[in-house]
Structures are given as C-alpha cells and as structure tokens.
Structure 1
Amino acid sequence: MADNNSGFFANPLVKWIEYRLPVFSTLDHMVGTQYPTPKNLNYWWNFGSLAGLCLVIQIVTGIVLVMHYTPHTSMAFDSVEHIMRDVNYGWLLRYMHANGASMFFIAVYIHIFRGLYYGSYKAPRELLWFLGLIIFLLMMATAFMGYVLPWGQMSFWGATVITNLFSAIPLVGEPIVTWLWGGFSVDNPTLNRFFSLHYLLPFVIVGVVLLHILALHQHGSNNPLGIDTKGPQDRIPFHPYYTIKDAVGVGAFLIFFSFFLFYAPNMLGHPDNYIPANPLVTPEHIVPEWYFLPFYAILRSVPDKLGGVLLMFGAILILFLLPWLDTSKVRSAKFRPIYKQLYVIFLIVCVGLTWAGGKPAEGYYLIIARVCTVYYFAHFLILLPVVGWFEKPLKLPASISEAVLKGDAAPAGKA
C-alpha cells in the first residue's frame, strides 16, 4: 500500500490541502492504492465505472442543452431544432445526450445481469443490490420524462399512454393522473413538471450512487468465484491495476458510443418524434424507447389494465426479493450447473420481451410476450427457490489465489 508521506502526497501543495481537507487520502481509500480489491475481477466488472461515466456525460450535456431549451408546448419542438441547427455543436450535444441515455441503460443492464450471474445480490451485499435497483428506477423515471421534452409525436403520446396507466389504480388513480398532468390532459403544465423533474433527478441519482459506492466499500467487491477474500494474498490495490483495466473498457466503450453518435445517431430513436406533437393525430404504433420495451411487453401481455400495471411494476420490484428467493448458498453461477442453464434461458426470455415490446400487441407477438412474461416470473418465484434446494454445486476453490494460480478453472468435482 502507498505511503502517504511519499510520491504524490509529498507534494507541498497536496500536503497543504490534505492537512486542511483530507480529500486526496479519502479518494485514495475509495479508488486508489489504499482500496484492496479481489485479484480476479474480469472485464464484466468494468460496467459499474462505465455507468458512472455515462451519468457524468448525461449531466454535463444536459446542463448545456438546458441553456437553449424552452419548456413550453408551443416552443419546445422548435427549441430542439434550434439546438440542432443554430447552436455551435448543438447537434453533437443533443446526440450525445439522446444516445448517451441508451449507453447508460446498456451499461446498467449489463451491470445488473452480471450481478445476477455472479450472485452479487447475496449476503452481505443486499443493501448494495437494493441501492443499485433504486438507481435503476430513478434512471427509468428520468429517461421517461426526458423523452417527453422534445415534444414530438412519440413524446406526447408516450406521455399520454404511460401516465394514463396510473388511472387503473383504484380510488387514487385518477387524482394521481391529474396531479401528473397538472390539469385534465397532457399539456404545458405536464411539460413543465417533467422538465423540472428531469433536471433534478440526475442529481438525486448522484446521491444514491455515492451511497451505492459506500455500501460497496463496506464489504468490498464480489468476484467471479463468488468466494470471500481470505487475506492480503487474495487482494490487490485498485490503483493502478483496475484503473488501467477500466481505462481499456472506457476506450472500447467510446468507440462503441462514437459509432452511434457519428454514424447512426437516430438508430435507437423513433422517426415519429421528428414530427411536432399533435393531440388530434394518434401514431399508428405507440412505442417507448428500447430500454422500456421488456416492461412494455409485460404490461400489454395482460388483458386487464390494472393487472398489466401491477405486473409491469412487479417485474422490477421482484428483484428486491432476489436475496431471499435464491436459496442456494453458492453465489457464482460458475459452480451452479443447473442455474447456469436457467440463466441463459432467462437472458433469452428478456431479449424476447424486448423484441415483442416493439411489435404490435396482436397475433403471435402477443403470444410470445405472454409466454415470456410467465417464464420471467416463474424464474424468480418458482425455479430459483426450487433449484437452490436440490442443485449440487461444484466444489469451490479454497481461495482466490489458489484458483488464479490454477488458471481460474472451475473444478469438476462435486461439493
């Protein structure tokens, strides 16, 4: 570990600041040489830091865009066109913000599925998992309200459809919808409320992210083997080993991001949103952004409106119960042969829901959505608890160091 009296900390200016405000030593303990990390983390662990990078991109570009945006129904669409055409590099900022939302969700979805595979939700990291899910919910709310701001056709009708869902709630549904709208239809008060909350929520996300990091540092990172570190031989400093690894991930991510930014900026959007909002003309097929499609498919797979709403929200809330629904004592799927197969099926089901959510709610699209919805809930409520009881996991290595020295290969023996 680094000595605070040498190297960087020996700089007179750094020492002067550190004595009065210990910011550098705090950072060193959080993401530096003083933060011990399991020595076997792979590139799937990069997506937490990539999600943080996406959050910074969204906040910075959003602050600049808001300088030129007008939150009024008669001027919002034109102000977005003004940004695209008249503001210096406005097109770049707008495309970075719009595609950055998709990149953010890609990073977070991979981060979540990595947690599902390696059992990062299990004790003692339950609160870490819960805080991550809260970040995900805040992201969804922020993204939905941001999609309304351009005030195009899909913005207007998406807001109308989604906010109307709350009317299905008995007794309080209608008052909630009226409060969300700020009146009796989606109009200027709605746009103003969504604009205000869209600007506020990213800073709330930053606060929850800090709590997420604090919870992470309490017990340290999980690892691909899912076993606890046994001592210093199982750990290495976060810096420089994982900062370099993260830098490689950032480089690959920026190449991926740049492809959409410069060559396909509208691929992940909807062409109807380049038409000004018209309450008198309903689009032929109303769809949300791609990252909402799995939940939209679940919503539409139920004939009853209230049932669809409950299932849609239940699809996310059920993840909060995961630490108790998974009855296996082994964290990592590397040592769980049956769960590993179920995980692959679950992944295919989630892709199927995303695909079905973007199609009309009719014919075999609806059948596929219903089958995938049934499996989605069965995976958590039936398969996970049952498999954890009878599955025979493979033998776990004695320590991370032992597995690393042996090539990190999963033993073939039984526990």
Structure 2
Amino acid sequence: MAIGLHESEFKNPVIRWVDARLPIFTMMQKEYGTFPTPRNFNYFWNFGGLALVNLTIMIATGIFLAMNYTAHVTYAFDSVERIMRDVNYGWLLRYIHSNGASMFFIVVYIHIWRALYYGSYKAPRELLFMLGVVIFLLMMATAFLGYVLPWGQMSFWGATVITNLFSAIPLVGESIVTWLWGGFSVDNPTLNRFYSLHYLLPFVTFGVVFLHIAALHITGSNNPLGIDPKGPQDTLPFHPYYTAKDSVGLVVYFIVFAALVFFAPNLLGHPDNYIPANPLVTPPHIVPEWYFLPFYAILRAVPDKLGGVALMGGSIMILFILPWLDTSPVRSMRFRPVARICLLLWLVSFFVLMYCGAKPPEEPYVTIARLATLYYFAYFLVILPFLGAKERGLPLPTSISMPVLRGAGGGPLPAGATAKPMEKA
C-alpha cells in the first residue's frame, strides 16, 4: 500500500480503495459496529435514534414543500392549499411534515424523560445533556416558525402573541419585537424572516446533533442501572445487537406515524388554521401547538408579563444546571425510591400543565396551573438538592452483568464471570 494511505481492513475492493483514502467506513465500523455498549439497554434507548430518523424526515419533506410554497401574506395560505390539492402527493408531504413535528416532540419528550429517570445528565455526561437541551430549544424555535408559515388564523395570532412576549424585556423589548416583525406589526416581512429561519434552523440542529452524538461516543452510553461497565462481560457491540433492537422500535414508530398521517392527519392540529389569517378577527381562544402547552400554561400562571416570560424561559433553562442541582452519587431512579416518586409527580405536573395550557385562562385552570408550576420548579430547585444530600439509595450491583448472574435478567452467564456481593450506593 502506498505511503500515507490508511490501512483498510475491508475485503470489498471498492470499499477498501475508498476507505484507504477517506476512512469513513472504518469510522462507521468503529462508531456503529464494534462500539461497546452496555448489555442491558431497554427500549427507552431507542428514542435517540428515532429522533435522528425524525429529523431526517422533517428536513427531506421540508425541502420538497419549500419548492411549492410562496412566502407572501397574499399567497401563503393559497400556496399551502395548492400543495394539498394540486401538487402530486403534496397532501402526503404536508401531512408527513406537519405530523412529523408532533412525532418529533413525542420522541424527544420520551428521550428527555429517560435521561431524567436514569440520570443520564450526571457526570461525565453533563455536556452531552446540555447539547440535548440546545437541540430541544432549536426544535421549539423551528416548530414555532413553521407553524406560522401556513398563514392561517392560529398561525397569525400565534405569531402575534409569542413575538409580543419579547416586549416584556426591559429597555430593549420593543426594539426586539420591531426587529422580529420587520416593521410595526406581523406582516409580510415577518413571514419572510420566519420562512428563511425555518429553512435554516433544521440544518443548524443537525450540526448540534452531530456534536451530541460525538459527545455520546466519548463518554459512552448510560444504562438502566446507572453504573459504568466494569469489563467486556458488561458490554455488547452495537451491531448487530442494538441495530436489531432499534429496528423493532423503528417499525413500531413508522406504524404509529403512518396511522396518524393516513387516518387522523388533523388530530393534533387546530381547525382555525384552515381559516385564512385575518388581522381584524381575533380567535376566541388562542393556543399554541400541543407540544408548547405546558410552557404556555406556565406563562399564563404568572399575572405579571415579565415574570411569566422569565418563568417560561426558566422552565427550560433550568435543565442546563440540572447536573449540578442533583448531587446524589446514584444515577438511576431505580435505586432512589423517594426521588423516583418525586420525579413521577413532576411528570404528572407536566401533563397537568399541558392540560391547563389548552384551557381558557380562567378558574380553576389558572390556580391548578400555578400549583403545577410551583411543583415543576420545586422539584429541580428544592427536592432534588435535598434528596441528593439526605436520601440513601438502595444497594447497587457491582457490575451490569450482576442482575443476569443473580437470575434477575435471565440469559447465559458471561464466560469466566463470577457473582460478586452487592455494594452500597
């Protein structure tokens, strides 16, 4: 082999020729073939890969939709109707894209829940988790911008309400709103800006996802036990074991996605968005898409506009400091019975906020939302730090293979492995 060429181990002559000059196949084999992963993954670990698949679907369908969309207040609504009625399979592209946003948030919310439950935000994965929060923020921004593009009633008034929130920022708020609008009201310059950013941000998100995966492959994956692998008996190569397992989750995901697209494509949307935008007619109840409802409820739970905006932003920004708020040495909630109950109550509060966000801002929903908001923040700022200092976890296995050796997980014993006593958390 010529000096300077990478020594490829692949047998196929074409792949070996390419890999010797640009070792992408060796990299893929290392990162997604022989990469050691904990042997006890459950199906919650499917959702990271599903999120990447969903992002790819959103980018692909978005590119084709952009070819037929007209970003002008006079033509935007009609261009979407043309996509639905006249463009070949335009209805399918549009329904995949619009429902893909909902599927994306479902997958990511479960992915975040898994991280919270199994302690995937703890050392050494703090930066990995923070990059995930950045991806979530980019998703939210992209979804909001995309919701405005059909230029229906809820699109227009949603854009008006959300952009007006920036006016609560002291001194510079009004200037920010004017800059976002490109004028003194939500109009054509606003639509053009939102269209441009909606097209751009998914590619930015893809770049952050690359960093997220790179960080994951440096620190390694967490696992349901929340303990680090102690040796080869605790790990499996990613392929074929987890490619096969992920494929099962992918099939289920596509079945649910297809059911939504073909049988209930408007289930998660708002009927008012099939009415062309009219600045002179305000809808009786302005609500965002379902995946924003918990944060919308937090916003409305505070009577002061600036306080509501600050609390709504803080409900997400608090995740950036979560690794340092939870000081417990035990990662997985499996071994923290009190913290597990508190986390489940936090999940209940999240769904209560989602319910209240969909309701009018009146009693009893406002009071219920305030109580749920109080617990939402108390969990992070009070309960987790307190339990981190006071709660004594259950005994941890000495290795990932220990539950198998003790008969809890079934399956054959790893070669040469022997059972060891349990250690205290």
Same fold (TM over 0.5): yes
User: 8 Å contact 2:76–2:149 — kept in the other structure?
Assistant: yes
- Residue 212 of structure 1 pairs with residue 215 of structure 2: no
Q: Which amino acid aligns with 1:179?
A: W
Give CA deviations for 1:79-102 in whole Å, capped at 9, x if unaligned: 000000000110000000000000
User: 8 Å contact 2:8–2:20 — kept in the other structure?
Assistant: no
Report the equivalent of 2:26.
25
Determine the C-alpha separation between the residues in 2 that align with 1:379 and 1:270.
32
User: 8 Å contact 1:167–1:176 — kept in the other structure?
Assistant: yes
Please give the TM-score of this superposition, normalised by the length of structure 1. 0.97
Please give the TM-score of this superposition, normalised by the length of structure 2. 0.94
What's the Cα RMSD here? 1.3
Determine the C-alpha separation between the residues in 2 that align with 1:151 and 1:30.
43
Secondary structure in 2 matching 1:160: helix
Determine the C-alpha separation between the residues in 1 that align with 2:305 and 2:250.
42
Report the equivalent of 1:369.
369
Determine the C-alpha separation between the residues in 1 that align with 2:209 and 2:153.
33
Report the equivalent of 2:185.
185
Determine the C-alpha separation between the residues in 2 that align with 1:98 and 1:153.
16
Determine the C-alpha separation between the residues in 1 that align with 2:273 and 2:144.
14
Where do 1:380-395 residues align within 5 Å?
A: 380-395=380-395
- Residue 43 of structure 1 pairs with residue 32 of structure 2: no
Q: Which amino acid aligns with 2:348?
A: I
TM-superposed deviation, 1:257: 0.7
Report the equivalent of 1:151.
151
Q: Which amino acid aligns with 2:24?
A: V
TM-superposed deviation, 1:414: 6.1
TM-superposed deviation, 1:284: 0.4
Secondary structure in 1 matching 2:185: coil
Report the equivalent of 2:101.
101
Query: Kindly tell me: are residues 49 and 188 of structure 1, through their superposed partners in 2, closer, same or farther at Cα, counting changes over 3 Å?
Result: same
Where do 1:189-338 residues align within 5 Å?
A: 189-338=189-338
Q: Which amino acid aligns with 1:171?
A: L
TM-superposed deviation, 1:42: 0.5
Report the equivalent of 2:415.
none
TM-superposed deviation, 1:407: 4.2
Determine the C-alpha separation between the residues in 2 that align with 1:245 and 1:26.
22
Determine the C-alpha separation between the residues in 2 that align with 1:174 and 1:250.
46
Determine the C-alpha separation between the residues in 1 that align with 2:423 and 2:196.
58
User: 8 Å contact 1:328–1:389 — kept in the other structure?
Assistant: yes
Report the equivalent of 1:358.
358
Give CA deviations for 1:58-107 in whole Å, capped at 9, x if unaligned: 00000000000000000000000000000011000000000000000000
Query: Kindly tell me: are residues 304 and 412 of structure 1, through their superposed partners in 2, closer, same or farther at Cα, counting changes over 3 Å?
Result: farther
TM-superposed deviation, 1:389: 1.2
User: 8 Å contact 2:84–2:94 — kept in the other structure?
Assistant: yes
TM-superposed deviation, 1:403: 2.0
Where do 1:83-122 residues align within 5 Å?
A: 83-122=83-122
Where do 1:54-69 residues align within 5 Å?
A: 54-69=54-69
User: 8 Å contact 2:8–2:19 — kept in the other structure?
Assistant: no
Secondary structure in 2 matching 1:286: coil
Secondary structure in 1 matching 2:163: helix
User: 8 Å contact 1:392–1:414 — kept in the other structure?
Assistant: no
Percent same amino acid among aligned pairs? 69
Give CA deviations for 1:194-237 in whole Å, capped at 9, x if unaligned: 00000000000000000000000011000000000111111110
TM-superposed deviation, 1:248: 0.2
User: 8 Å contact 1:37–1:235 — kept in the other structure?
Assistant: yes
Secondary structure in 1 matching 2:396: coil
How many residues align? The count is 408
User: 8 Å contact 2:118–2:226 — kept in the other structure?
Assistant: yes
Consecutive unaligned residues of structure 2, counting only runs of 5 or more, are 1-6, 410-420
Secondary structure in 1 matching 2:236: strand
Q: Which amino acid aligns with 1:260?
A: L
Determine the C-alpha separation between the residues in 2 that align with 1:91 and 1:303.
42
TM-superposed deviation, 1:404: 2.7
TM-superposed deviation, 1:402: 1.3
Determine the C-alpha separation between the residues in 1 that align with 2:75 and 2:160.
19
Report the equivalent of 1:161.
161
Report the equivalent of 1:173.
173
TM-superposed deviation, 1:405: 2.7
TM-superposed deviation, 1:31: 1.2
User: 8 Å contact 2:396–2:422 — kept in the other structure?
Assistant: no
| 153-162 or 359-368, larger mean C-alpha shift | 359-368
Determine the C-alpha separation between the residues in 2 that align with 1:163 and 1:338.
41
Query: Kindly tell me: are residues 63 and 283 of structure 1, through their superposed partners in 2, closer, same or farther at Cα, counting changes over 3 Å?
Result: same
Query: Kindly tell me: are residues 386 and 279 of structure 1, through their superposed partners in 2, closer, same or farther at Cα, counting changes over 3 Å?
Result: same
Determine the C-alpha separation between the residues in 2 that align with 1:5 and 1:378.
55
Report the equivalent of 1:53.
53
User: 8 Å contact 1:152–1:276 — kept in the other structure?
Assistant: yes
User: 8 Å contact 2:398–2:422 — kept in the other structure?
Assistant: no
Determine the C-alpha separation between the residues in 2 that align with 1:26 and 1:267.
42
Determine the C-alpha separation between the residues in 2 that align with 1:70 and 1:327.
52
Secondary structure in 2 matching 1:329: coil
- Residue 10 of structure 1 pairs with residue 4 of structure 2: no
Determine the C-alpha separation between the residues in 1 that align with 2:94 and 2:351.
28
TM-superposed deviation, 1:120: 0.2
Determine the C-alpha separation between the residues in 2 that align with 1:89 and 1:360.
37
Consecutive unaligned residues of structure 1, counting only runs of 5 or more, are none
Determine the C-alpha separation between the residues in 2 that align with 1:314 and 1:347.
17
Secondary structure in 2 matching 1:147: helix
TM-superposed deviation, 1:18: 0.5
Query: Kindly tell me: are residues 386 and 147 of structure 1, through their superposed partners in 2, closer, same or farther at Cα, counting changes over 3 Å?
Result: same
Secondary structure in 1 matching 2:37: strand
